[in-house]
């Protein structure tokens, strides 16, 4: 039996490429989304450091809340989710000490090797289950110590980006479980801070706050926010890592893997327990915290970041916008399988020119150099599809699971050419249909915490009732 009263929730989802405020209205077993605000999320290089523009993000969040209120939505609550690993530092008075640094900053280069001298990656993986990536918070924190940067010494609290936003919205200090799992400092089994790491590494446990599980009320908006003309809205803690919320929205079935296709590509399975084997570690699989007590066993792959950067470059050079439709049509005119790149090559992390980086990679690897826009796009998309194929094979080997379907969510699921390439490369059925999966996952968690719906399974059923899924068959 469904409630016939409409209840409205605001999801604030910050992706590495763009942020959005989306209202979800749930009524009679259906959910309807309304995007009330969207803004680009662009790091800023100041001096030698690449920062997130935190003040602009915060300002846009407030604008998003205002926009929802202005449209007349009676919000039951709101919740924040963002990309992982990055954080801000607070002083004892609770002031933000510096703009959070972007994980693409070069400060972490070489840090994994330095940390490896203190504790081997194998030992660390056995407790955290996290894929060794130099962008992880652990290497970012270590870079302060390595550079003898006093900022970290005088800081009182370390809050991941969604924690930081929740703190400024409500005054509540905590580290939410799913986002904290991306730090590589959490124990994958106990879902608590791994005490041994704070002994081996020169890290203060005091920086960390209690871990909070998703699915509860954090508090209400602070007085200074309400004074700007916003009602007293409740703030919910959801799986504040965007990936956790996105995967939580997918009506996964047995034998079905997920791909969250955005700036990053996350390919994997939602499991009941972590897999902490050497095979999983050596194949670069991670065990990140999911919602509903799931472990997201997956690989973090550099995804459509490459295409985003190509487009930024062309638009800057030619001072004209490029549509995906145009670029995908050009892609289909280029010949197939000419040049294949590895999107995770360090040269693609943050190059001055993505065009030059891709061409240089092809030249260095003895492949034809893509010249036209169509050739470059085709090179990126085919390379991603082939990469997913090899990750899928490793995923099956590491988990021993049969997988016959891939459910793709995120902005990348709007790329019909890529979806078909993936179905072909994997020789597997591909399903798409929920682009804003992260916001949907965020909203159904709020509805559960608000007791409008019984559980997340009901939420996923509501999503199934509300969207049309499209199937791609391998060709
Ligand atoms: N109309 C479209 N057609 C094809 N692809 C699109 C379209 N709109 C967006 N995309 C793709 O979606 C990608 C962005 O996806 P998404 O919005 O899910 O990422 P994000 O939330 O900013 O990043 P994150 O991976 O951190 O969640 C773009 O890089 C682009 O390739
Ligand atoms: Mg996203």
Same domain membership, residue 339 and residue 233: no
Look at residue 26 and tell me if it is in a domain: yes
Nearest alpha carbon, ligand 1 atom 4:
415
Instruction: Choose one of 172, 203, 237: the last residue of a domain.
Output: 237
pLDDT of residue 1: 47
- Nearest-angstrom CA–CA distance, 432 and 107: 37
Q: Are residues 280 and 214 in the same domain?
A: no
3-state SS class at 176: strand
Spacing of C-alpha 299 from chain mean position: 12
**Alpha-carbon span 374 to 357, nearest angstrom:** 16
Q: Is 121 exposed, middle or buried (0-12, 13-18, 19+ CB in 10 A)?
A: middle
With a 6 Å cutoff on the Cβ, whether 155 touches ligand 1 is no
Ligand nearest to the CA of 265: 1
Tokens of 239: 């799986």
Q: Which of 271, 306, 300 is nearest to 283 (CA)?
A: 300
Q: What is the pLDDT of residue 5?
A: 85
CB atoms within 10 A of CB 224: 8
Dihedral of CA atoms 408, 410, 416, 421 in degrees, nearest 10, equals: -50
In terms of residue numbers, what domain contains 368? 251-433
49 and 56 Cβ atoms separated by less than 8 Å? no
Rg from Cα positions in the chain: 22
Q: Indicate which atom in ligand 1 lies nearest the CA of residue 304.
A: 29
Shared-domain flag, residues 182 and 281 = no
Return the ligand 1 atom nearest residue 436 CA. 18
The answer as to whether 445 is a domain residue is no
- Give the C-alpha distances (Å, rounded to integers) separating 312 from 48, 132, 308, 348: 21, 29, 6, 14
Please list the alpha-helical segments (H only) found in 400-455. Answer: 416-426, 437-449
Quote the CA–CA distance of 14 and 436 in Å, as a whole number: 12
Predicted pLDDT of residue 67: 98
Q: From the CA of 348, how far away is ligand 1's center (Å)? A: 18
- Distances, alpha carbon 369 to alpha carbons 22, 335, 345, in Å: 41, 12, 17
CA-to-CA dists, residue 83 to 5, 182, 265, 311, angstroms: 33, 10, 12, 21
Q: Are residues 221 and 294 in the same domain?
A: no
The reply to whether 225 and 278 lie within a common domain is: no
Which of 451, 468, 467 has its CA nearest to residue 7? 451
Number of domains in the chain: 2
The list of the chain residues with pLDDT below 70 reads 1-4
Q: Are residues 229 and 278 in the same domain?
A: no
Structure tokens given for 291: 């919602």
The answer to whether 242 is a known catalytic residue is yes
Q: What's the CA-to-centroid distance between 375 and ligand 2, angstroms?
A: 27
**Is residue 441 assigned to a domain?**
no
Half-sphere exposure of 186 (CA within 13 A, CB side): 30
Cβ partners under 8 Å of residue 148, min gap 6: none
Indicate the DSSP class of residue 255: T
Binding site membership of 137 for ligand 1 (Cβ less than 6 Å): no
Is any ligand 1 atom within 6 A of the Cβ of residue 103?
no
CA angle, residues 278, 110, 128, in degrees to nearest 5 = 35
Specify the pTM: 0.95
Q: Are residues 44 and 189 in the same domain?
A: yes
In a domain, 455, yes or no: no
CATH number of the domain residue 266 falls in:
3.30.420.40
Last residue of a domain, one of 237, 263, 296: 237
Residue 2 lies in a domain: no
Residues 214 and 308 in one domain: no
Task: Assess whether 17 and 73 both reside in one domain.
Answer: yes
Looking at the fold, whether 276 and 423 belong to one and the same domain comes out as yes
Residue 419 resides in a domain: yes
Distance 13 CA to ligand 1 centre (A): 13
Ligand 1 pocket test, candidate residues 162, 263, 313, 408, most atoms within 8 A of CB = 263
CA 265 to CA 242: how far, in whole Å?
12
Catalytic residue among 13, 163, 242, 292, which?
242
Q: Is 324 in the pocket of ligand 1 (CB under 6 A)?
A: yes
Q: Check if 416 has its Cβ closer than 6 Å to any atom of ligand 1.
A: no
Separation of alpha carbons 216 and 237, rounded Å: 5
Buried/exposed code over 348-361 (b: 16+ C-beta within 10 A; e: otherwise): bbbbeebbebbbeb
Residue 193 falls within a domain, yes or no? yes
Final residue before a domain boundary, out of 196, 214, 237 = 237
Question: What's the confidence (pLDDT) of residue 4?
Answer: 62
Contact 15 CB / ligand 1 (< 6 Å)? yes
- 292 and 227 in a single domain? The answer is no
Atom index in ligand 1 nearest the CA of residue 41 equals 22
Q: In whole angstroms, what separates CA 465 from the centre of its chain?
A: 25
Helix (H/G/I), strand (E/B), else coil: 38: strand
Q: Tell me the CA–centroid distance for residue 377 and ligand 1, in Å.
A: 15
Q: Whose CA is nearest to atom 10 of ligand 1?
A: 411
If we measure between CA atoms, which residue out of 268, 280, 90, 293 comes closest to residue 181?
293
- Shared domain for 150 and 228, answered yes or no, is yes
- Tell me, using a 6 A CB cutoff, whether residue 19 lines ligand 1: no
Structure tokens at 226: 């309400």
Cβ 412 under 6 angstroms from ligand 1: yes
| Ligand 1 centroid – CA 38 distance (Å) | 13
Structure token pair of residue 27: 């009524």
Q: Does 89 reside within a domain?
A: yes
Of 11, 13, 14, 17, the one to substitute when testing ligand 1's pocket (max ligand atoms within 8 A of C-beta) is 17
Nearest-CA neighbor of 12 among 3, 23, 1? 23
Please tell me the distance from the alpha carbon of residue 108 to that of residue 114, in angstroms, as a whole number.
Answer: 10
């Amino acid at each position: 039996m469904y409630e016939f009263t409409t209840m409205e929730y605001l999801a604030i989802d910050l992706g590495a490429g763009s942020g959005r405020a989306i209202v979800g209205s749930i009524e009679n077993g259906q959910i309807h989304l309304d995007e009330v605000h969207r803004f680009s999320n662009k790091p800023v290089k100041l001096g030698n450091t690449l920062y997130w523009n935190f003040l602009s993000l915060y300002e846009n969040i407030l604008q998003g809340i205002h926009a929802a209120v202005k449209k007349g939505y009676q919000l039951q609550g709101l919740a924040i989710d963002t990309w992982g690993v990055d954080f801000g530092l607070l002083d004892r008075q609770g002031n933000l000490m510096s703009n959070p640094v972007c994980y693409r900053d070069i400060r972490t280069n070489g840090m994994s090797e330095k940390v490896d001298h203190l504790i081997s990656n194998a030992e660390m993986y056995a407790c955290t289950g996290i894929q060794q990536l130099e962008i992880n918070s652990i290497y970012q924190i270590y870079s302060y110590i390595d550079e003898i940067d006093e900022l970290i010494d005088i800081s009182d609290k370390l809050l991941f980006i969604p924690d930081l936003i929740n703190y400024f919205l409500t005054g509540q200090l905590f580290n939410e479980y799913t986002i904290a799992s991306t730090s590589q400092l959490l124990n994958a089994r106990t879902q608590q801070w791994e005490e041994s790491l704070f002994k081996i590494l020169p890290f203060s446990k005091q920086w960390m706050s209690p871990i909070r599980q998703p699915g509860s009320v954090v508090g209400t908006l602070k007085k200074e926010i309400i004074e700007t003309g916003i009602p007293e809205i409740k703030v919910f803690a959801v799986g504040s890592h965007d990936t956790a919320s996105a995967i939580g929205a997918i009506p996964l079935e047995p034998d079905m893997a997920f791909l969250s296709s955005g700036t990053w590509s996350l390919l994997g399975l939602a499991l009941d327990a972590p897999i902490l084997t050497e095979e999983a570690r050596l194949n670069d699989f991670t065990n990140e915290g999911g919602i509903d007590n799931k472990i997201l066993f997956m690989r973090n792959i550099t995804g459509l970041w490459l295409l985003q950067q190509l487009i930024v470059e062309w638009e800057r050079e030619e001072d004209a916008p490029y549509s995906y439709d145009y670029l995908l049509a050009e892609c289909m005119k280029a010949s197939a399988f000419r040049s294949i790149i590895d999107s995770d090559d360090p040269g693609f992390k943050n190059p001055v020119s993505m065009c030059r980086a891709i061409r240089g990679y092809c030249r260095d690897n003895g492949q034809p150099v893509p010249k036209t826009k169509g050739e470059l796009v085709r090179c990126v998309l085919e390379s991603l599809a082939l990469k997913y194929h090899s990750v899928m094979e490793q995923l099956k080997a590491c988990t021993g699971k049969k997988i016959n379907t891939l459910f793709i969510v995120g902005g990348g699921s709007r790329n019909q050419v890529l979806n078909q390439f993936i179905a072909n490369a994997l020789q597997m059925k591909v399903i798409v249909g929920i682009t804003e999966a992260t916001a949907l996952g965020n909203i159904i968690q709020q509805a559960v915490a608000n007791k409008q719906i019984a559980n997340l399974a009901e939420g996923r059923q509501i999503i199934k009732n509300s969207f049309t899924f499209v199937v791609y068959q391998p060709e």
